[in-house]
Amino acid sequence: MNEPEQKKVVAIPATITVKAFSDALGLPVTQVMTELMKNGIFATINEEIDFDTASIITSDLGMEAVPSVESGDGEKPLTLEDMLDICAKEKESDKRLDPRAPIVTILGHVDHGKTTLLDTIRKASVATGEAGGITQHLGTYQVKKRGKLITFIDTPGHEAFSAMRKRGVSIADIAILVVAADDGVQKQTKEVITYLKERGLPIIVAINKVDKPDANIMRIKQELAENDILIEEWGGKILCSEISAKQNIGIDSLLENVILVAEVEEFSSDAKRSGLAVVLESHLDKQKGPVATTLVRTGTLKVGQDIIAGSVFGRIRRMENYAGKSIETAGPSTPAVIYGFGDTPKVNDVISVASGKASARSRSERVQTTAKSLIRAKSDEEGTDDIKRLPFVLKADVEGSLEAIEQILGTVTHEEVALEEISSGVGAITESDVKMAESAGAVIFGFNEEPTAVARRMAEKAGVPIETFGIIYKLVDRAKERLSELLPPETVRTDLGTLSVLAVFRTGKRDQIIGGRVGNGKISKGAKIDIRRGDEVVGKGVVANLQQNKQNAEEVGQGNECGVVFEGNAKVQEGDTLLAYREETRRRTL
């Protein structure tokens, strides 16, 4: 028998223009565009398609697509806990270690001036880059004091980002606790203090906004003491700096305190071992590909090394320091931007040096399998309960934003309706996202990301809604609003008044003419009626017409006699009481 012909294997990046795709396949661009149109994708020669779409077209043309990523050997990736455990054992060993810069995180209540303090320290405009009062992305940078480096981690301060804030603490050596002199120790400040105590992290207090007219520094120190934060001048061991981040007052003193704590703690690590770094942020750059902002915790990373982070492999083809300058190596406590991953790693993924070449993993296969299983699970669940679900696809610009949004949406719960995430990812909204949303009947939410031109046209044709936002809480509010629309409306009854039936003047097939006196409240034309006989409601109806003194009336008040044309499913008798009411249908909210 003849051997089956080997399929041509084509390496395809995460996104590719139609022209570059046809070149990679070695086929005329017109043939490729025809295949795209057969799949309902109308893309021009210079527009980009994603890997999933390219993979389908490649298969249709008798070839096989693989992601164009560096490979490794499939070894088990390290977790954040693994890395911290390695660092702890390293410190306990007898091995001679190298001094390293302290890693500092700044924590405290929202609006107490953390971002402004960071801005003042690094002399860059961070505070003005916020949207909706929330620091949307993470970053890290270094400053020098007395010739010694200090590494700062920029963590979001809003309470919605508690998990991300704790992540910053887990890899930091020192925490600066910021408390506003004009506001005091707030609920979130207390939560931070509790967490810092649990972690056993060295604390430096920064009492901010001391220049404010209503600043009360002694009150702040008293409140701190009441929360088990005893500063040196009150007989404790915690250093305290009185500062004004906005006016650049006391910043030198604060940095001196950081150096003092670092000298006491003697932070060190093994710079000669293979580097271990944690991913603080990642995003997909259209020109540069996946980009990861990282912090080396121990060891040294070098350009050219094969690396692994979570399920993502790559080779370091370029590194930059916090100032954007190219570097060849990154040692302990060094912030580094890494280029060369095959896909965007997740926040908190630990980067380690791969010991050999691992086989490339197909991102397309992984995503498609996950989506199919989720949709299948959704179908299996239908009919098992009465919960209505809002399926959605979520795309964000960076992993940090994605994590924060998913964390907040995860808190949205209700007995009758639920959010159901079908897929999530970093980067532009692509045709694969649209296909997935169409299959699941889902809406696509984008944060700081827009659909590609091809995806937009596909969505319009398929009727897939795409909604994009620049502020996290607007996205969350819209998701809640869409979820509320699934709730059945509620009927609200408003009682108007009662009518004592004195006489029944005429009884027809469908109506009756009744005379009576309004006991309390009022009777209105068009009002709904309950017929009460004794203690029992025996029928229902409506006030078809209303007269007072033989004149038509819209309503008749308490104590007055009137004539009523009653239409209903039961016959009214003399001595009955009619209960008048209105019903209003209202849309419910979460």
Shared domain for 180 and 244, answered yes or no, is yes
The CATH code of the domain that includes 30 is 1.10.10
* Neighbour count for residue 495 (Cβ, 10 Å): 13
- Are residues 240 and 198 part of one domain? yes
| Sign of the dihedral defined by the CA atoms of residues 366, 369, 375, 377, in that order | negative
Burial 547-566 (b: 16+ CB within 10 A, else e): bbeeeebebbeeeeebbbbb
Query: Do the Cβ atoms of 472 and 397 come closer than 8 Å?
Result: no
Cβ of 281: how many Cβ atoms within 10 Å? 21
Residue with tokens 């404790």: 236
Closest CA to 284 of 239, 342, 241: 342
Distance CA 220, CA 179 (A): 8
| CA–CA dist 202, 103 (Å, integer) | 11
| CA–CA distance, 444 with 429 (Å, rounded to integer) | 8
DSSP 56-113: HHHHHTT-EEEE-------PPPPPHHHHHHHHHHHHHSSS--EE-PPEEEEEESTTSS
Burial of 129-140, coded b for 16+ CB within 10 Å and e otherwise, reads eeeeebbbbbbb
How far out from the chain centre does Cα 37 lie? 35
**CATH number of the domain bearing residue 347:** 2.40.30.10
- What is the spatial distance between Cα 583 and Cα 512, in angstroms, rounded to a whole number? 23
Nearest Cα neighbor of 564 from 520, 521, 537, 528 is 528
Per-residue pLDDT 10s for the chain (590 aa) are 444 556 787 888 777 889 889 988 999 998 999 999 888 888 888 888 888 889 889 988 988 887 664 333 335 678 888 888 888 888 888 788 999 999 998 888 777 677 788 888 876 433 334 333 333 344 678 888 888 999 988 765 433 345 545 555 568 899 999 999 988 888 888 888 888 888 888 999 999 999 999 999 999 999 999 999 999 989 899 999 999 988 889 999 999 999 999 999 999 999 988 899 998 888 887 777 788 999 999 999 999 888 888 878 888 889 998 888 999 999 999 999 999 887 788 888 899 987 543 433 333 333 333 433 444 444 454 444 578 899 999 999 887 788 788 888 888 888 899 998 888 888 889 988 999 899 889 999 999 999 999 999 999 999 999 999 999 889 999 999 999 999 989 889 999 999 999 999 999 888 999 999 999 999 999 999 999 999 999 999 999 999 999 899 999 999 999 999 999 989 999 999 999 999 998 888 88
| Boundary of a domain, candidates 484, 499, 526 | 484
The residue segments making up the domain with residue 260 are 101-266
**Which of 323, 353, 383 is the C-terminal boundary of a domain?**
353
- Give dist(CA 244, CA 254) in Å, integer: 11
Shared domain check, 510 and 436: no
262 belongs to a structural domain:
yes
- Number of H-type helices and E-type strands within the chain: 14, 33
- Assign 485 to helix, strand or coil: coil
Beta carbons of 36 and 57 less than 8 angstroms apart: yes
Same domain as 150, residue 258:
yes
Identify the CATH number of the domain in which residue 142 sits: 3.40.50.300
φ/ψ of residue 176, rounded to 5: -95, 115
Q: Is the pTM of the predicted complex or chain greater than 0.75?
A: no
SS3 202: coil
150 and 109 part of one domain: yes
Q: Kindly tell me the burial class for residue 165, based on how many C-beta atoms sit within 10 Å of its own C-beta (0-12, 13-18, 19 or more).
A: buried
Could you tell me if 108 and 231 lie in one domain? yes
Distance CA 350, CA 76 (A): 11
What's the pLDDT score for residue 119? 81
Q: Can you say whether residue 333 is alpha, beta or left, with left for phi > 0 and alpha for psi between -120 and 50 degrees?
A: left
Domain count, the chain: 5
| CA torsion through residues 498, 499, 501, 506, sign | negative
Total number of residues shown for the chain: 590
Q: How far is CA 25 from CA 29, 55, 63, 289, in A?
A: 9, 11, 8, 21
Residue 83 located in a structural domain: no
Per DSSP, which regions of 402-487 are E strands?
417-426, 443-447, 466-469
Give domain status of residue 80, yes or no: no
Rounded-to-integer distance, Cα 341 and Cα 189, Å: 38
Is residue 327 domain-shared with residue 258, that is, in the same domain?
no
Whether residue 278 sits in one domain with residue 215: no
**Residues 305 and 332 placed together within one structural domain of the fold:** yes
Residues 152 and 115 occupy one common structural domain: yes
Half-sphere exposure of 579 (CA within 13 A, CB side): 15
Whether residues 108 and 221 share a domain: the answer is: yes
Last residue of a domain, one of 299, 328, 353: 353
- Classify residue 94: in a domain, yes or no: no
Domain shared by 113 and 257, yes or no: yes
